[in-house]
Structure 1
Amino acid sequence: MKRTTAPQEATSAEPRLYRVVSNRIEDLIREENIQPGERLPSERDLSTKLGVSRTSLREALIALELGGIVEVHGGSGVYVSEPAPAHKNGPAAGPGPFEVLAARRMIEVEVAALAAKNATAAGIDAILVAVEQMEQDYQDRDANETADRNFHLAIARASGNSALVGVVEYLWNQRGTLWHKLKEHFQTEELRQQTLIDHRNILSAIASHDVAGAKQAMRAHLDRVTRTFSRG
């Protein structure tokens, strides 16, 4: 029997866009001889110059910061921290934060709708516990994030589809160093407070078995996060 060739592994795929953009920024630093301590062009100008979106550019700049190439100063700009070396340690390979947010918007909106349709009393209680824990741990960033994760997983469990629980958990686990650095720079207190309101709205729709309302509330929440992280 003729043996077939196994499909090519995902690890040999094209580099992530933010890595391609980060390499182009390093080239620009060298070509324009931008010295340590000097500021790079604005995000708007860099985006135009490189022909890439602001979100891809922002991911690339955060990756370069993690690699020790630039320093991102909120409200001031991006500065070269040292000449671009031949080799550096950056974030682990994986999707960028905005890729993850886009995937979550596609999937979790429908998961919320399914939860509104199928949630049992116990499932709704589990979502409520996560919301209350997030509110209680508001000042403790790590505990607050754990409660945030539990909230989204509780919704997936309430959907009644165990495969979706695995998908939501996988997407949450993609929030690596690049995500947390982006969050450190661009998350606002307004977004943190609004997230609590968003979660209450999502819970309310699911508890009322309002399918359309659950979809709308989850979409509004994830859109708000995306806008906050991408605005300049």
Structure 2
Amino acid sequence: MIDRTPVSQAAARKLQQMIHDDTFAADEKLPSQRVLAERLGISRPSLREALLTLETLGQVRTFPGRGTFVTKNGARRVSDNPDWRYGEEHSIQSVFEVRILLEARLARHAAAHATLDDIQALAEFTDRMERAWAVQDLIENVEADLAFHRRIAAKTPNTLLAQTYDHVAALLSETQRQPIPFTREERMSESIAEHRRIIAALDQRDPEAAERAMADHIRNTAACAGITV
């Protein structure tokens, strides 16, 4: 099989592992982007994208004129959250508002169209989330979460809704990464339980319950990021 993992994502995983095994210790300044890109064998644009992912997840922090540093372990306060990377285009508030409307409706559609294979896949994505969080593999945790939501979105027969979801997918994905730095153990347990409620509603082919469970999940995720929707 061909490995289709984006270069930047593979680099983010490598850097995360280097942080976990103390190749780069807490509070340590990372090498310059030129040196780090050469060390990883990637382009500087790919490295910058990888560092943006890690910064959103709270594993590094960039300070203008000083460089990029590994952050200390542990959840941060909402006020410590890195800048919303799409702020010049749309506020995080507006993206969460769109997300709750769009994904709740997509969940409603999925209740009528999800197959047994879909239900099993959604359960596995949720299990992957839980396992990844247990070992603090934040990249895998978020990737499994993204796969969960994409699988549900793919079940809609409404092509315009599907195209709209694809068009704003990068924005929606960022709202799934953004709360991670200050997600505490109990909130992740709640989030995983919310996923399982969505799965149960889909399995029971209950569109109202699926729509409500998805809306509640996104609302709670937004609250974790300090956003009310």
TM-score after normalising by structure 2: 0.56
Distance of 2:189 and 2:196 partners within structure 1? 11
Residue 140 of structure 2 corresponds to residue 143 of structure 1:
yes
For structure 1, the residue ranges without an aligned partner over 5 or more in a row are 1-64, 79-88
Q: Is the 8 A contact 1:157 1:165 kept in 2?
A: yes
Cα distance in structure 1, aligned partners of 2:157 and 2:127: 22
Task: Indicate the SS of the match to 1:230.
Answer: coil
Deviations 1:36-69 (A, max 9, x none): xxxxxxxxxxxxxxxxxxxxxxxxxxxxx97859
| Poorly superposed stretches of 4+, deviation over 6 Å | 176-179
Which residue of 150, 154, 178 maps to 1:157? 154
Structure 2 equivalent of residue 114 of structure 1: 109
**Which residue does 2:205 correspond to in 1?**
209
Paired residues of 1:113 and 1:215 also in contact (CA < 8 A):
yes
SS at match of 1:107: helix
| Aligned match for 1:100, one of 95, 103, 117 | 95
Map 1:7-46; keep pairs closer than 5 Å. Answer: none
Q: Are the aligned partners of 2:110 and 2:202 in contact in 1 as well (CA < 8 Å)? A: yes
Structure 1 pair 225–141 and aligned structure 2 pair: CA distance change class (3 A): same
The reply to whether residue 200 of structure 1 matches residue 196 of structure 2 is yes
Q: Count residues with an aligned counterpart.
A: 154
| Post-superposition CA distance 1:74-124 (Å, at most 9, x none) | 56978xxxxxxxxxx994533222211110101111110110022222332
8 A contact 2:107–2:210 mirrored in 1: yes
Whole-angstrom CA distance in 1 between matches of 2:94 and 2:169: 12
Instruction: Flag the structure with more relative contact order, 1 or 2, with Cα contacts below 8 A and sequence separation at least 6.
Output: 2
- Kept in 1, the 8 Å contact 2:77–2:182? The answer is no
Alignment correspondent of 1:225: 221
Q: Which runs of 5+ in 2 are unaligned?
A: 1-60, 66-74
Query: Corresponding residue for 1:33?
Result: none
Going from structure 1 to structure 2, the CA distance change for 1:136 and 1:105 (only over 3 Å counts) comes to same
Deviation of the 1:146 alpha carbon: 0.4
> 1:174 Cα shift?
1.3
Structure 2 SS opposite 1:158: coil
Tell me, yes or no, if structure 1 residue 172 matches structure 2 residue 135: no
CA distance in 1, matches of 2:184, 2:121: 27
- Structure 1 residues 214 and 185, CA, compared in 2 at 3 Å: closer, same or farther? same
Structure with greater Cα Rg: 1
- CA deviations on 1:212-232 (whole Å, 9 max, x unpaired) are 11011101101111222217x
